[in-house]
Amino acid sequence: MASSSVAADMELDRPNLEDYLPPDSLPQEAPRNLHLRDLLDISPVLTEAAGAIVDDSFTRCFKSNSPEPWNWNIYLFPLWCLGVVIRYGILFPLRSLTLAIGWLAFFAAFFPVHFLLKGQDKLRSKIERKLVEMMCSVFVASWTGVIKYHGPRPSTRPHQVFVANHTSMIDFIILEQMTAFAVIMQKHPGWVGFIQKTILESVGCIWFNRNDLRDREVTARKLRDHVQQPDNNPLLIFPEGTCVNNQYTVMFKKGAFELGCAVCPIAIKYNKIFVDAFWNSKKQSFTMHLVRLMTSWAVVCDVWYLPPQYLREGETSIAFAERVRDMIAARAGLKKVPWDGYLKHNRPSPKHTEEKQRIFADSVLMRLEEKRRDVKRYKCT
């Protein structure tokens, strides 16, 4: 029984080599004289397989596409040089000054309010919320952000959660300048972590550690408690769990869809005419990401607030998440892929990879052996 089961698994995993060959390499009719070299020349198979591995749909989700060069002749190159001088020599210093003045004004107002109004929680929360919105507006101004918001502005009421596709940490900044959301976010080190602990906690943000499995239960409990309170800021979740390059959307985590409340989708789409807003955290720090945005001409973005969605009768949380993902993908023009974004941070074990490679290699060898036997039979006839 065990041997038959293994054989069945091998048969299912056996690749059809003809599927990997280019169409023009396959004969339309069975040849009368079949030569061994026609069967053993597997270079097209290796080429197609390597191309599929390098350019698979998962890898493309996290690939930043470089813009096509346009300074390719003597007429355009001086204009490109002039643009570099303007962006780095004029715009970047002015934007840096704007950001510095904004931070000084923010800290000068935030800390007195935070420490002196401890007995007046409602007033303090209201002022801190407005200050956070103001600081996010300063950030957007430092990129010369051109943001268009479509749909009704989110309101503060209980039993609702907002979910959005995720391209960069600036998604939160762009949404926060309009409404003071309480976001659930990965803990970060450095100055970003300082802002998380000292400032963003004032608007009710929730932090988690992706590498700590025990953190999941604590975070889930905090989410359920947050959406029940009528005075809390609206809760914002990025259910993909990682930054995707704004061309694709990976699977949504189901946690946001198990809270028993209305789910309000938000679709975010960046126009890459001036800069690609995708943040690849494995290759670039958030500071350098901001510098890249501040040295571009502008950040152009559209934000759509879509109608609230509710769990339907008989619908599972996974199906609910997929339905909301369909809405966001359709509105923002994103391609859906059936991948878990956490695979970006947690690669499969080498043992699992080697086992799959061994199965594939064995099946290829078995297929080639079958082809050799077919050649012998053709020669005999």
E strands present in 170-294:
182-186, 206-208, 235-237, 248-249, 262-271
Whether the CB-CB separation of 184 and 208 falls below 8 Å is answered with: yes
CB atoms closer than 10 angstroms to residue 255: 19
C-alpha pair distances (Å), 47 with each of 13, 225, 273: 20, 54, 34
Query: Residue 371: pLDDT band by 50, 70, 90 thresholds?
Result: confident
CA distance 251 to 334: 12
Whether the CB-CB separation of 152 and 160 falls below 8 Å is answered with: no
pLDDT reported for residue 232: 84
pLDDT reported for residue 349: 56
Phi, psi angle pair for 130, to nearest 5°: -65, -35
Structure tokens at 310: 């509710």
| 46-60, 170-184, 325-339, 340-354: the lowest-pLDDT one | 46-60
Average pLDDT of the residues of the chain: 79
Could you give the count of Cα atoms lying within 13 Å of 3 in the half-sphere of its Cβ? 0
pLDDT reported for residue 93: 96
pLDDT reported for residue 259: 87
- Answer whether residue 329 shows pLDDT above 50: yes
pLDDT reported for residue 73: 75
The residues near 91 (Cβ < 8 Å, ≥ 6 apart) are 144, 294, 295, 297
CA distance 368 to 39: 8
Placement of tokens 């993908």 in the chain: 329
Query: Residue 114: pLDDT band by 50, 70, 90 thresholds?
Result: confident
Query: Residue 281: pLDDT band by 50, 70, 90 thresholds?
Result: confident
Answer with the residue of higher pLDDT: 64 or 42.
Answer: 64
- Answer whether residue 157 shows pLDDT above 70: yes
Strand order in the sheet with 182-186: 145-150, 299-305, 262-271, 160-164, 235-237, 182-186, 206-208
Burial tier of 292 (Cβ tally within 10 Å: 0-12, 13-18, 19+): middle
CA distance 327 to 206: 26
Share of the chain above pLDDT 70, in %: 75
Asked whether the whole model's pTM tops 0.85, one would answer no
| 50-64, 124-138, 142-156, 293-307: the lowest-pLDDT one | 50-64
CA distance 161 to 181: 10
Among residues 133, 234, 127, the alpha carbon closest in space to that of 177 is found at 133
Residue type, 207: W
CA distance 150 to 280: 27
Query: Residue 372: pLDDT band by 50, 70, 90 thresholds?
Result: confident
* Secondary structure (3-state) at 201: helix
